[in-house]
Structure 1
């Protein structure tokens, strides 16, 4: 850490702040988290074939994963405040690598529920969006939207890099080599985080990005009980209408992304005669588009009204989902058009949501309150993952589930216009 501190002090004079290194390391952590959470989507059909498990039983394990992933958010943010960001991240990644490696020995569906549902769900909950919000809050005074956009885009990049390759390995060698590769990749990221992720700028003798070089360094806050931190912030938040509007909109965000498309899209492609590699390649293309869309969304959230941005994001996503069942029937332009609009929009909602959370609740409570909002995101994802699996088993297709998801997005598009409404609808937010 002393070497990092010396390097940081020399580089700060050359207009480069170590905050961007913290973003890069956090991006890598969130990338491997996203790749790990995307892995079961390519394992669904092979697990059915190997063990005779039903789509509903596999969806149940993934639903548990998604729910715990979200519910861990506020407690992960509180743990970062109580025990330290580095310690929390390193412990979570180590536990994640262990659980993924052990899944190579699964024989029963309940073992998948324990490993991929409970342990992976809890571990990834500490190394995903809540981590990004905490890093942005601790390291940045200016350009918070851009930094959060870059970190959020790690989800797309994880899919872009890993999914097609993993799908190809599954097609040729089965699902077991994939879980070992993912576990090894997580172990590498543990080492990178250990070496290059400081606790906060003050540990390196640096101000926040955007503060003057001579700004007083922020002292560490007094450590409190973890539950008191998490539930104290929640108690203050639930008294405000804006919390419930943000919670509902993010519930819909999770239901329409991780829960439905992220979990079931590859299996849905199989219903229309597309093999898993092609389905994974389409998801990867959407991931590449989202890398652009979410980073741009972060840039826009520093400059324009975030409610209006969310209105367009949810509205366009809803229309894309309603179009999806028809896309498979169009020979050339069907799925590419869906991938274009849905991909650019995939999780572009995150930077404006983080910005609004900071505006409403302040920098002290915002990371923990956002953790509770992420819980809503993942409860929505768990709801959609399970419901889509049940509807597919009952009706033989995903069409009804797709229409429900699209309708929820259109409802969210209207709802977000009421969040933090303090002035004219189109009033811009001046970049800091």
Structure 2
């Protein structure tokens, strides 16, 4: 009989370890926006060159997410999460030695992009899918908010470090943060399975009350989907091929691409330099982004709670419509000082920023069942493609027109289109699940026959 583990593998322990990994990786997504000015002034790089590195980072981030989700089926969540933290730490450490733009593309674009992609929302979706049955929307919101916590906790600190010391010191600080998170994540993150000979339920996913609640095809407490053989890359690509034959996949990917374009692409990459163009100090702009991050947490958790109770399609439509209106108003609000209208913008945008994640994951789960984490990984890839395209286009627009105003207006118009697309996603996920699920032998009619209605009370 194997001995008891020192750390109980309870769902909330695993969620806490996953949250730490997500918080740490989330800090890396904010530094790129703070580096635009310093790299331009210190190394003489154009904003378009810095934007290219951000584009590569976001595309690699998105492209790695579905493969990371599939790799978790083979290697487990812990190994993938720890490997991702090693990648982001190495990328940040090497970034301190940069002297040419191609190095920024390699270190920040590729290495950090791979690491943050593996510990992104697909990681949150996988943890939720394997460890929770009840309150999945709420847990998804909490883990998604963890990424935002990493952004607003580290953002003012990194801004102060850059202003006081240098951008290299900020990159080194992030590398140390990733190294410090490694042992805790290794100890906390586990797969939901029981040790032989144990009779307790510490490894049982939250919300599961007995063995009858296991999904079909499971023969033990392992939450990895059954029947998945072959390489992780092959599984991810096959899932993409099957999902791409369904309409909801393209609608969700399209709306999530707009989500990335209107958040990571403009706000987290270009808000600080845009505010600086209006005479606002970078540290003040970073504080406003931190305020957005604070309200991100409230908005994402509330969105997860609402997703358990309302139609996710309508939630997405409302979120995108309101986000578009705020972006259209932003050029009129940016000044050298922080006033009440600008604070109101940060509050409203913060509530809407990451609120789209829980409804999108819920729609993936409804349409694609057990393959939802991998499908959501591909949807997240579209998110990052949209984010990277607008991050690059924003730098080009600033160099060409001397203003970010066309970018804000364009992003607002995209949000209006995404609101309409969200309403066209059909309610039932039966067709999507049939496209992803291989046929199974028919069960004899008598074994699954159920009475049409309960017998009358006598």
TM-score range, shorter chain: over 0.9
Tell which structure's C-alpha radius of gyration is larger: 2
Partner of 2:154: 162
The question of 1:341 aligning with 2:342 is answered no
Partner of 2:447: none
Matches for 1:100-179 after TM superposition, within 5 Å: 100-179=92-171
CA drift at 1:214: 5.4
Residues 298 and 351 in structure 2, CA contact (< 8 A), matched pair in contact too: yes
The question of 1:210 aligning with 2:202 is answered no
Partner of 1:14: none
Number of equivalenced pairs: 413
Moved more, 309-318 or 32-41: 32-41
Q: 239, 259, 279: which one pairs with 1:233? A: 239
Alpha-carbon distance in 2 for matches of 1:248, 1:370: 12
Residues 73 and 371 in structure 1, CA contact (< 8 A), matched pair in contact too: yes
Q: 282, 286, 294: which one pairs with 1:280? A: 286
The question of 1:195 aligning with 2:201 is answered no
Alpha-carbon distance in 2 for matches of 1:412, 1:3: 53
The question of 1:248 aligning with 2:257 is answered no
Alpha-carbon distance in 2 for matches of 1:117, 1:227: 21
Partner of 1:328: 334
CA drift at 1:26: 1.0
CA drift at 1:341: 0.9
CA drift at 1:8: 3.0
- Cα distance change, pair 156–331 in 1 and its aligned pair in 2 (3 A): closer
Provide Cα deviations, 1:216-254, integer angstroms capped at 9, x if missing partner.
643454542122210111111111110000000000000
Residues 142 and 209 in structure 1, CA contact (< 8 A), matched pair in contact too: yes
CA drift at 1:4: 7.0
**1:105 aligned counterpart, secondary structure:** coil
- Cα distance change, pair 280–212 in 1 and its aligned pair in 2 (3 A): same
Partner of 1:91: 83
CA drift at 1:202: 4.0
**1:239 aligned counterpart, secondary structure:** coil
Alpha-carbon distance in 2 for matches of 1:37, 1:308: 29
Alpha-carbon distance in 2 for matches of 1:341, 1:185: 30
The question of 1:74 aligning with 2:66 is answered yes
Provide Cα deviations, 1:150-208, integer angstroms capped at 9, x if missing partner.
01111221122111111011111111111111101001111111111112344686222
Alpha-carbon distance in 2 for matches of 1:245, 1:25: 33
**2:205 aligned counterpart, secondary structure:** coil
Moved more, 92-101 or 50-59: 92-101
Moved more, 68-77 or 201-210: 201-210
Provide Cα deviations, 1:399-418, integer angstroms capped at 9, x if missing partner.
00100000000110011011
Residues 19 and 201 in structure 1, CA contact (< 8 A), matched pair in contact too: no
Gaps (5+ residues) in structure 1?
A: 10-17, 424-432
Gaps (5+ residues) in structure 2?
A: 196-200, 215-219, 430-458
**2:263 aligned counterpart, secondary structure:** helix
Alpha-carbon distance in 2 for matches of 1:289, 1:135: 24
**2:39 aligned counterpart, secondary structure:** helix
Alpha-carbon distance in 2 for matches of 1:386, 1:202: 48
The question of 1:299 aligning with 2:302 is answered no
Moved more, 372-381 or 324-333: 324-333
Matches for 1:419-430 after TM superposition, within 5 Å: 419-422=425-428
Moved more, 277-286 or 199-208: 199-208
Matches for 1:353-372 after TM superposition, within 5 Å: 353-362=360-369, 364-372=370-378
Partner of 2:266: 260
The question of 1:42 aligning with 2:34 is answered yes
Alpha-carbon distance in 1 for matches of 2:87, 2:206: 32
Partner of 2:396: 390
Provide Cα deviations, 1:240-280, integer angstroms capped at 9, x if missing partner.
11000000000000000011111111111111101110010
RMSD over aligned Cα atoms: 1.8
Residues 89 and 126 in structure 1, CA contact (< 8 A), matched pair in contact too: yes
Residues 320 and 418 in structure 2, CA contact (< 8 A), matched pair in contact too: yes
Q: 318, 323, 336: which one pairs with 1:317? A: 323
For normalisation by structure 2, the TM-score amounts to 0.87
Partner of 1:8: 8
Residues 5 and 205 in structure 1, CA contact (< 8 A), matched pair in contact too: no
Greater fraction of residues in helix = 1
Moved more, 414-423 or 106-115: 414-423
Provide Cα deviations, 1:101-125, integer angstroms capped at 9, x if missing partner.
1111111111111100111111111
For normalisation by structure 1, the TM-score amounts to 0.92
Residues 44 and 55 in structure 1, CA contact (< 8 A), matched pair in contact too: yes
